[in-house]
Structure 1
Amino acid sequence: MTALEAGAELAPLSYPVTRADLRAYADASGDPNPIHLDPEVAAAVGLPGVIAHGMLTLALAARAVREWTGDAEVVELGARFAGMVVVPDEGTSLELTGKVVDVADGLATISLTATCEGAKVLAAPTAVVRV
């Protein structure tokens, strides 16, 4: 767990994303949309390949917050989806960084950056945790 002080840069984290992860997430979430599972369907609708579920991407951001903050209660987590996590046969990775932007009234606000292959995939991802 990192000390949550305003201005603290949080250690970069990287999470692999594989086709098996997409299948497991589809099964667990009940979202079997073929753009996440079938390369031919993804290509037919104009995608560069199968893509990770947006909520899987956000869940990995939440995992990073948990790793950075330990047992801190996550009060708020939000982002807009800004790009796709394209998952080729060999898989890819989601890179996350964070910075504590404010600590006040028992809450720490963390600004995150989430990228895949150098491109941002979440816009304005922010977490608020109780400290």
Structure 2
Amino acid sequence: MEVGAELPPLAIPVTRTLIVAGAIASRDYQDVHHDAELARQKGSPDIFMNILTTNGLVGRYITDHFGPTAVLRKVAIRLGAPNYPGDTMVLTGTVAEVAGEGGGDTVRVKIVGKNGIGSHVTGSVTVTVPRAGGSTS
């Protein structure tokens, strides 16, 4: 793992079901995440994904890459362009920093998630990846 290394992209189809299920799973019952008519009345062309769903997808992207023993230490993201149904968000990541620690390496990855209208999410994730026989606690 080296600074500047790029993680493979992950394309996530943004479906109406994903948006609504993510809102329900995170107990975010704001109408803009499940009721298209009310979202339009509030100025949005359709329902859109909430930040907690985006946060979960970013975490999934990192653990899919670094493996099931990876421990997320910090997720710092900012939303931009909304994720609307029918679009695709493509997550990409670049290793920004690597440091050794106890039984593993701590890695900071810069994250960008783009959709058809721009950057939906930007930020960074710090993750500890255990070495063989090491501990991350």
TM-score range with shorter-chain normalisation?
Answer: 0.7 to 0.9
Contact 2:13 2:89 in 1 (8 A): yes
- Could you state the TM-score of these two structures normalised by the residue count of structure 1? 0.86
- Return the alpha-carbon distance in structure 2 between the equivalents of residues 67 and 10 of structure 1: 10
State the one-letter code of the partner of 1:93: T
The CA distance in 1 between the partners of 2:97 and 2:39, in whole Å, is 41
Note the aligned Cα RMSD (angstroms).
1.4
Summarize deviations over 1:2-41 as a string: whole Å, max 9, x none. xx32111110111122111222223222212111111111
Q: Give the equivalent residue in structure 2 for 1:10.
A: 7
Residue 98 of structure 1 pairs with residue 115 of structure 2: no
Deviation at 1:110, TM superposition (A): 0.4
Q: What residue identity is the alignment partner of 2:99?
A: A
CA distance in structure 2 between the partners assigned to 1:81 and 1:35 by the alignment = 16
- Greater relative contact order (CA < 8 Å, ≥ 6 in sequence): 1
Gaps in structure 2 of 5+ consecutive residues? 130-137
CA distance in 1, matches of 2:23, 2:96: 34
CA distance in 1 between partners of 2:53 and 2:44 (Å): 18
Match for residue 130 of structure 1 among 117, 128, 131: 128
TM-score by length of 2: 0.83
Q: Extract unaligned runs of 5+ from structure 1.
A: none
Structure 1 equivalent of residue 118 of structure 2? 119
> How many correspondences in the alignment?
124
Query: What does 1:25-104 correspond to in 2, within 5 Å?
Result: 25-70=22-67, 71-87=69-85, 91-104=86-99
Q: Give the match's secondary structure for 2:43.
A: coil
Runs of 4+ residues over 3 Å off in structure 1: none
